[in-house]
Amino acid sequence: MNDIVKPPAGGNAVFMRRVIELSRESMNTLHGGPFGALVIKGEKIISEGTNSVTLWNDPTAHAEVVAIRRACTALNTFQLTDCDIYTSCEPCPMCLGAIYWARPRVVYYAGERTDAAQAGFDDDLIYRELPLPPSRRSIPMVQMMHEEATRVLAEWNAKPDKIRY
């Protein structure tokens, strides 16, 4: 996984314009922040997502996560290996994690995280917290019942009928 993958040539400006339009719609309808995302398979839009954090009272309802959830439901899969993601801004750490779990071919983005920070969406704290050991993070993280939890993971590892993801 250390190899840098060369993305498919270009990207589709029509899809990126739609993402930017979605971000503006999200902002103007007060459904959430000014962010939009699409999941594309071939040349077809599989799903759209807008930031719906304040609409749904859900801090995980970022545009990319919403689009990924909808695409996985539409395609009846938990991985988007044959899909591309278009997003109006460089993904935040949560969305980046969701993207890696979804395993798309490529992500096309418009704005940079510094642009989002200038608009009041500063994810820098999270980027700084990630490499810290849990005991040094600004939100206290206290480990409990480690042995019990690792037993369940060992059972999973030995389970012959598990679905890997």
25 catalytic residue (yes or no): no
Alpha carbon distance 107, 64 (integer Å):
10
CB 128 within 8 Å of CB 151: no
Helix (H) or strand (E) holding 85: strand 83-89
d(CA 108, CA 145): 41
Catalytic residue among 21, 43, 48, 64: 64
Question: Which conformational region is residue 106 in: left (phi greater than 0), alpha (psi within -120 to 50 degrees), or beta?
Answer: beta
DSSP 5: P
Active site residues: 64
